[in-house]
Each structure stands twice: as structure tokens, then as C-alpha cells.
Amino acid sequence: MNDQLSSFHALRTDEGRALLDEVRGTAPADELAVATRLRRTHPVELVSAALGQARLRQRAAAKFGAEDAERMFFTPNGVEQSTRTSVAAYRAERMRALGVTSVADLCCGIGGDALALARAGVRVLAVDRDPLTAAVARANAEALGLDDLIEVREADVTEVDTAGYDAVFVDPARRGGRGRIFDPEAYSPPLSWAVAAARTAPRAALKIAPGIPHEAVPAEAEAEWISDAGDVKEAVLWFGTGAPGGVRATLLPGPRTLEGRGLPDPAVRPVGRYLYEPDGAAIRAHLVAEVAEAVDGGLLDETIAYITSDTLRPTPYATAYEITDQLPFNLKKLKALLRERQVGTLTVKKRGSAVEPEELRRKVKPQGPHSATVFLTRVAGAPTMLIGRPAA
Ligand SMILES: C[S@@+](CC[C@H](N)C(=O)[O-])C[C@H]1O[C@@H](n2cnc3c(N)ncnc32)[C@H](O)[C@@H]1O
């Protein structure tokens, strides 16, 4: 057994559990003092393993919520690569709605997706080839009382028989030794393997990076981009949903789903009273036309995903701003205008501009009691600054 695995098992003994309770919530600044004290009565390796685990739990709270994270176990890679509960629960509910009651979770990591599936009542075979990761997934199933629904298997997914499961879920590793991997064929296992595995099951979902080019989506898949609180988290290729070629953007919390209708690109038109900034999931899903139609809008520039409209129409798929000024890109003019309006809090947004927001803020030195938003963008090709505020 390797050192990491034996340290992990030690954490699950009575002594390990007691230590974990004792170091819960230790602030980084106090770690040294706590470690020194505990090493007097406990083995050095166990104390460092407990402090390391406490640190990972604190980091994982953002994804899993503090209550679950405090009971779960993590590895550094496992925290990074796991699916946050909000997204995993949404996908699990969608699986349920498709009639799925059992899933082979191929590449389960520390169990982010498997746990959410089990909580939705789905039986899961969770597979990971890394011995420590598989042990952690097993411990998490037990910690959350879901081990009757989750079977964890330490194996290479390419050698697992998934016959008999209603669906296959694959979340390939997308990080190599040198960081994030962008080429889907460099994923482990490669996307082409995951697609082939998806084709063998009645239904399937493959989690991939949101930057995947649309051309790489197989014709029979439905592609979904998911954001949570405005941040795009992932893309999912669904198989067997009855919507081949479909495209959707789902916003969490909600969920609110915008379905693609294959609308042509919206026309470019002059700057109107409102600017709409579409949610990143709608942009990645190429559904800006669907959002523009919903707000009776057009584009500021044919290459940029800002929508302009004279109508204020609330939509979950975009944030509306009321535009007060339009200037050609010119920092002196912007500085003068902000001084005149006594703007001290400046939010900088940009699309199609190379200017760094921090650099701009440093140069214009906003001062005063008011706030404003400046959009650095192009209007019909010309570098432009639009000034406004969130629409009421
Ligand atoms: C992105 S993580 C999965 C995260 C998981 N969905 C979660 O929410 O916690 C990918 C995992 O795939 C595993 N993996 C990569 N290639 C594998 C293979 N051929 N067989 C089994 N597991 C593999 C890695 O060990 C890693 O834990």
C-alpha cells in the first residue's frame, strides 16, 4: 500500500477521526501551533494527514457546501476536478427525468457526481483506476450514508462492462502534469473513447470542457452548456435524450433552460437604450440569437455577443444595462466624463477589447460617490466605450 493510501486509511481509524474533529476549521495561520501540540500525543504523519484533510475540506466547502464537505474526504486533485453539487444534482435530476435508475459513472473521482446521482435515488457503479481516489470515493459514499446505492470499483474504465446499466456517465480527467488539457483526444480516457462508450448504453452523458468547438459534438448528441451563478462550469454531451443535434443553455440556480431553435444571427443595429449581456452559457451554446429575440434586440457588432435594444424585457438569460453615453474609445474623454458625473465606483466590462480593466481603472482614477459600468467593445467595427448602469 502506498504512503498516501495508508495515511488515508489511518484517518478513518478512531484516532484519525478524533484528530479530524480536533483540527476542524483550523486557520492556516494556526496550523503550525496546532501541529506542534498534537505531535506530542499522536504520530507525525497522522497529524499532517488530518491537517491536510481539514484544509481540503475548507477548500471543498465552496463546491459541496460546508455541511457535506466537513463529513467528506478529498485529495488535492479530487477537489479540483470534482463536479460542484449544484451542477451534479441538476444533471442527476435530468437523468431521473429521462427514466434512468442505474448509472455506470466511469471516472468517478472522489465521487462528486456519484453522490448526487445516489441522492437522486439512482444506483451507481462508480469506477476510478487511482487506488487512493477510489478509496476516497468509497469513504464519501459511506460518510453521506449512500453506500447502499453506490458500488465503488478500482479499475480502468476501458475494462469495465457496463451492460445492464440504464446510462453511462463519463467525466474524463482533463488535467495533465502541465495543467489543463484543451485537446479532447488528450483527455483520459480520450473523448472518442467516451463517445464510443456512450453509444453502447441506452442513455449517456459526457462532461467536457465548455470551450469544446461545436464541430466536435457528434451529430447524435445533444449539447448543453451549464453555468452556475453566471460562471460557465461545463458542457455536457447527452445521448439518448431524443434531441439529436439539440443545443441548450442551462442556468443554475434554477434550473432555467434555453433551447436552441437554430435562429439566424441577429442583425447589427445602432446602440439603443439598453445593452444586454447574455449569460456565458448562452454565449458558449451559440444561443445569442435566441436571447436577442427574447429582448427584441440586435447586435452592436456582428462578432460580439452584446445585444442592444430599446426595450427593457427581463430575462434570466441576460443582464440588462441602461446606456447613458456612447464615446469612441478615448481614455481622456472617459476620465472627464466620470469626473463630471462624480463616478468613484467603476465596473469595467469588455468584449472585443484588449484593454485590461485594472489598467483602465488605474488610468482614469475614478473618484466620487456615484457608480457606473463601462463597456469596452466595438460598435459596428469601431472601438467604443458605452457607459451605463444596471437596469432597474
Ligand atoms: C475529472 S475526474 C472525475 C470527477 C468526478 N466526476 C467528481 O465529480 O468527483 C476524472 C477521474 O478519472 C480518473 N481516470 C482517468 N482515466 C481513467 C481510466 N482510464 N480508468 C479509470 N479512471 C480514470 C482519474 O483518476 C480521475 O479521478
363: pLDDT confidence band, cut at 50, 70 and 90?
very high
pLDDT of 25 above 70: yes
CB count, 10 Å around CB of 181?
16
Res 175: pLDDT:
74
304: pLDDT confidence band, cut at 50, 70 and 90?
very high
Res 177: pLDDT:
66
Cα 252 to ligand 1 centroid, rounded to whole Å: 24
Please name the residue whose Cα sits nearest to atom 3 of ligand 1. Answer: 109
Residue 30 CA to residue 326 CA, distance in Å, equals 52
85 lines ligand 1 (CB under 6 A): no
User: b or e along 223-249 (b: 16 or more beta carbons within 10 Å of the residue's beta carbon)?
Assistant: bbbbbbeeebbbbbbbbbbebeeebbb
What is the per-residue pLDDT across 55-71, written as a single tens digit (0 to 9) for each? 999 999 999 999 999 99
pLDDT of 181 above 90: no
183: pLDDT confidence band, cut at 50, 70 and 90?
confident
Q: Which helix (H) or strand (E) holds 155?
A: none
Residue 325: exposure state from Cβ atoms within 10 A (0-12, 13-18, ≥19): middle
Residue 198 CA to residue 107 CA, distance in Å, equals 13
Res 2: pLDDT:
82
Q: Which residue has the cell 478509496?
A: 135
Residue 203 CA to residue 238 CA, distance in Å, equals 8
Contacts of 29 (CB under 8 A, 6+ apart): none
Q: What is the mean pLDDT of residues 191-202?
A: 97
Q: Which residue has the cell 468547438?
A: 213
Longest dimension (CA), the chain: 73
Please name the residue whose Cα sits nearest to atom 12 of ligand 1. Answer: 107
Alpha helices in the chain (DSSP H): 3-11, 14-23, 31-38, 44-64, 66-69, 76-81, 85-97, 112-119, 131-143, 191-199, 280-284, 288-294, 331-341, 357-364
Region label for 87, one of left (φ > 0), alpha (ψ between -120 and 50) or beta (otherwise): alpha
Cα 145 to ligand 1 centroid, rounded to whole Å: 22
Q: What is the mean pLDDT of residues 214-234?
A: 97
pLDDT of 176 above 80: no
1: pLDDT confidence band, cut at 50, 70 and 90?
low
Amino acid occupying residue 185: E
Alpha helices in 159-272 (DSSP H): 191-199
What is the per-residue pLDDT across 31-41, written as a single tens digit (0 to 9) for each? 999 999 999 99
CA 366 from centre of chain: 33
pLDDT of 320 above 70: yes
Cα 63 to ligand 1 centroid, rounded to whole Å: 17
Cα–Cα–Cα angle for 69, 70, 72, rounded to 5 degrees? 60
Residue 135 CA to residue 112 CA, distance in Å, equals 14
β-pairing verdict for 203-208 and 167-170:
parallel
pLDDT of 376 above 80: yes
pLDDT of 334 above 70: yes
CB count, 10 Å around CB of 365?
11
87 lines ligand 1 (CB under 6 A): no
Res 100: pLDDT:
98
Contacts of 122 (CB under 8 A, 6+ apart): 92, 95, 96, 100, 101, 102, 103, 149
Q: Are 85 and 58 in contact (CB under 8 A)?
A: no
6: pLDDT confidence band, cut at 50, 70 and 90?
very high
Cα 202 to ligand 1 centroid, rounded to whole Å: 22
pLDDT of 235 above 70: yes
Residue 103 CA to residue 124 CA, distance in Å, equals 5
**Pocket of ligand 1, candidates 59, 128, 226: which has the most ligand atoms within 8 Å of its Cβ, to mutate?**
128
Work out the percent of the chain whose per-residue pLDDT is above 70: 99
Residue 290 CA to residue 194 CA, distance in Å, equals 30
CA nearest neighbour of 138 among 5, 25, 15, 14: 5
What is the per-residue pLDDT across 109-161, written as a single tens digit (0 to 9) for each? 999 999 999 999 999 999 999 999 999 999 999 999 999 999 999 999 999 99
Work out the percent of the chain whose per-residue pLDDT is above 90: 96
What is the per-residue pLDDT across 249-293, written as a single tens digit (0 to 9) for each? 999 999 999 999 999 999 999 999 999 999 999 999 999 999 999
- Among the atoms of ligand 1, which is closest to the Cα of residue 175? 1
Q: What is the mean pLDDT of residues 232-251?
A: 98
CB count, 10 Å around CB of 142?
15
CB count, 10 Å around CB of 25?
10
